[in-house]
Amino acid sequence: MLIAETAPSGSAEAAIALLCRTFDVSEREVRVIRAPYRICPLGAHVDHQYGTVVAKAIEHAIHLAYVPLETSEVRLVSDEFSGIANLDARAPQKMQPGAWDNYARGAIAALTARDIQPGGMLGASVGGRSRSGLSSSAAVGIAYLLALADGAGKTLSATDLVQLDKVIETEFLGLKNGILDPAAIVFAERGKVAEIDTRACTARLHESPEPLSFIAFHSGLAEPLTPANFNSRVEESLQAAQRLSEVAGLGLTAPRLGDVPAAVFDVHAAELTPLEQRRARHYFEEAARVQAGVGAWQAGDPARLGALMRDSARSSVENYEVGATPVRDLVDLLNATSGVYGARFSGAGFRGCCIALVERDAIADIVAEVHPAYGARHPQLAELSWVLDCGSADGAAREL
C-alpha cells in the first residue's frame, strides 16, 4: 500500500505532453488550467439546504492543457478515458449518458446560457479520477469553464465559476447539488480553510496556529453516483423543511432547512415523520458542528475537530442514511486507529474516499494498520484502494 504514488494527481507538464502528442501542436501555443480537488472536514449534506460548510482545496489537481482555436471545434483527450471527444462550441449541447465529455458539453451549455459564446479549443486533461469523492467532477467542470471562457476572451470571477459549475451539475446533469464543491475549489487559499456561506456564495478564510494534516483513503469502490440515490436525500430534506414551516406557521415558500431556525426544530421535531426528523436532525446538528469546527480550526485543536468529524460520520449514517457498507467499514476502521483524530466520508459514502484528520508522523503506521484490516473485509476493493496525503492548495487558476 503506497501513499500518494497511485493518487489522482497530474501535472502541467504531463498535460502539455499529452496535448502535443495527440494533436501535434507546439508547446509555445499551450495554456494550462489547474483545478484542485477538495476535502470537506465538516458540512456533510447541508449545502443544498443553504448550510454553511468547511472545506479546503488540496494539492492534487486536474490540469487542463489547451490551445484556443479560431473555429468552434472542440477536441478533447483525457488520461483517464480512451478516445477523442469532438464537440462544436456553437451547437446546442445535450447530456449523453455515460459519455466522459459531459462536463465539457455542460460547460459549453452553461456559458452559452450566460451569453458567453465559447471558442473552440484543443484540450488535454490529466489527473482526473472520477468517482473518487474528492470533487474531480467539479474540478474538471471548472477547468473547462476557465479554458473555454479564456478562448472567448472572457474572464470569469470566482462567483461566476461557482454559479456556472452549478448549472453544469444541476441543469445539465440533473443532480440537486449545492455549491460546496465548486466554492471550495475556487475560493481556496493555501494553508487556510474556507467557511463557505452556501446561500450567499461567499467564503471566509481561516488559518490555524498549528498545521493540521489530512489524508484521503480511497475505498476502491467506484460505483456511479446516480441522480436517484443522491437526489432522494435532497428531496427528503426539503420535505422536512416544508413540514417544519407548516407546523410552526412560518408560511415559507419552498423552504430549505437553512430557512428554518434551529429552535423551530427543537420545538416541533415530534410533529415530523421519523424520516423527516432524521433528515432535519442531521442538518441542524451538522450546522452546529460546522461552527464548532471553525473554532477548533482557529484554535489549532485537532482533537476537538476530529471528534466533530466522528460525530458527522455517525450522523451521516444514522440520520442522513448514506454510505455503502465498504465505505462505512473503512471510516469505522480509521476512527478506531491510533493517530486518527477523526474520519468521515468524503461525499455521501456511496463510493469513493474517507477523509481523516491525523497525526502527521503517524500516517505510515495508520495505513499499515488500516489497509490489511480493510482487506480482510473487502479484499478485492482493498486491491484498488489508495491513500493521498492532502496538502493544502490555492484555488483554481490558469498556470501558464
Residues with active-site annotation:
181
- Measure the CA–CA gap between 81 and 99, rounded to whole angstroms: 10
The cell numbers describing 15, all together, are 498535460
Quick check: 314 and 366 in contact, CB under 8 A? no
Quick check: 193 and 54 in contact, CB under 8 A? yes
Nearest to 39 by CA among 149, 142, 168, 185: 185
- Measure the CA–CA gap between 377 and 370, rounded to whole angstroms: 11
HEC string for the chain: CCECCCCCCCCHHHHHHHHHHHHCCCHHHCEEEEEEEEEEEECCCCHHHCCEEEEEEEEEEEEEEEEEECCCEEEEEECCCCCCEEEECCCCCCCCCCCCCHHHHHHHHHHHHCCCCCCEEEEEEECCCCCCCCCHHHHHHHHHHHHHHHHCCCCCCHHHHHHHHHHHHHHHCCCCCCCHHHHHHHHCCCCEEEEEECCCCEEEEEECCCCCEEEEEECCCCCCCCHHHHHHHHHHHHHHHHHHHHHCCCCCCCCCHHHCCHHHHHHHHHHCCHHHHHHHHHHHHHHHHHHHHHHHHHHCCHHHHHHHHHHHHHHHHHCCCCCCHHHHHHHHHHHCCCCEEEEEECCCCCCCEEEEEECHHHHHHHHHHHHHHHHHHCHHHHHHCCEEECCECCCCEECC
Residue 53 burial by Cβ neighbours in a 10 Å radius (0-12, 13-18, 19+): buried
